[in-house]
Amino acid sequence: MKNFLRIVLAVSPLFAALAYVQAADPVPTPSPGDPRDHVYVLLIDGFDPVNFGQFSSLQWQVNRWGFKNASYYRWFESSDTVGRIRSIRSSDPNSKIVLVGYSLGSIEARNVTDTVRSEGLKIDVLVYLGGDLLKNSPSDRPGNALKIVNVRGWGYLPLAGGTIQGADMDGAENYHLGSISHANLPTNPDWQGILLRKLTEVSAVPTVPAPTPVIIQSVPVKLSSPAAP
C-alpha cells in the first residue's frame, strides 16, 4: 500500500501538467476598463492526486472566457486561499470574488468563507460543485456569501455507491445534472455553462465609484458702499 501511494504521489505532477494540454486557442485580452478584470475566480480542488476529474483545467477555461484572474488551489491549501482573498479585497475595491469548491474542495470553500467572515470580508458568489457531504444547514450557507450556487450530479461512488448526493439549499441556486458522474462534473458542458453565466452576471454588476471630493473655494465678494439717501 505504501509503495502504491509513493507511485501515485510521484506521477501526480505529470497528470496535473497533462491536464493543461488543450487546444491552442488564444486567451482573449480584456479591453481597457473591462469589468472582467475585477472578477477573481478561486478554484479549490478535492482529493484528486492524479487529476482524474480535470478540475484544474477550469483555470484555463476561465481564462479562455476572458476572465484572466483565475487561481487554482488544492483542498489542503486553505490558508493560501484566505490570503489571496485578503489581498484581493485590500488591493481592488471593485473586486468580485467567485469561490468554487469541487468535491472535498466544496467543504474547504465553505470553511474559507467562514474564516474570512470573521474579518468582515464577503464572497460575491460561493459555488459548490459536487458537494455530496454538504447539507441544507446554516453552517453550509455562510451569511457572508452574497450568492450560493449549488451544482450536483451523481454522487461519489465510494460513498454508498454514489447515492449520497448532497441536498438542495434554501436561498441558493440549485442545479442537479442527473446521472453525470462525480468525476465528470468539472468537464460537463452544462456545468461550465452555469459557471460562465454566473461569471458574466457578476461582472455586469455595477461597482460603486469612489465619491468625488467636493472642493469649496471661497470667492471674495466686494461690497459696495450704500448710496447716500
All domains in the chain, ordered by first residue: 2-204 (3.40.50.1820)
Q: What SS3 state is found at 151?
A: strand
Angle, CA 74 vertex, CA 70 and CA 80 arms, to 5°: 70
* Rounded distance between C-alpha atoms, residue 76 and residue 155, angstroms: 22
Contacts of 52 (CB under 8 A, 6+ apart): 15, 183
* Rounded distance between C-alpha atoms, residue 187 and residue 150, angstroms: 16
* Rounded distance between C-alpha atoms, residue 167 and residue 133, angstroms: 9
* Rounded distance between C-alpha atoms, residue 25 and residue 124, angstroms: 29
State yes or no: pLDDT of 167 exceeds 90: no
The pLDDT value recorded for residue 197 is 96
Q: Of the candidates 150, 124, 146, which has an alpha carbon nearest to the alpha carbon of residue 137? A: 150
pLDDT digits (tens, 9 = 90+) for 133-164: 899 999 999 999 999 999 998 767 566 556 56
Report residue 132's pLDDT band, with 50, 70 and 90 as the boundaries.
Answer: confident
Greater confidence (87 vs 158) lies with: 87
The pLDDT value recorded for residue 46 is 93
Q: Please say whether the dihedral angle defined by the alpha carbons of residues 156, 160, 162 and 165, taken in this order, is positive or negative.
A: negative
Range list of H helices, the chain? 2-18, 57-64, 78-91, 104-117, 189-204
The pLDDT value recorded for residue 213 is 42
Q: Report pTM.
A: 0.76
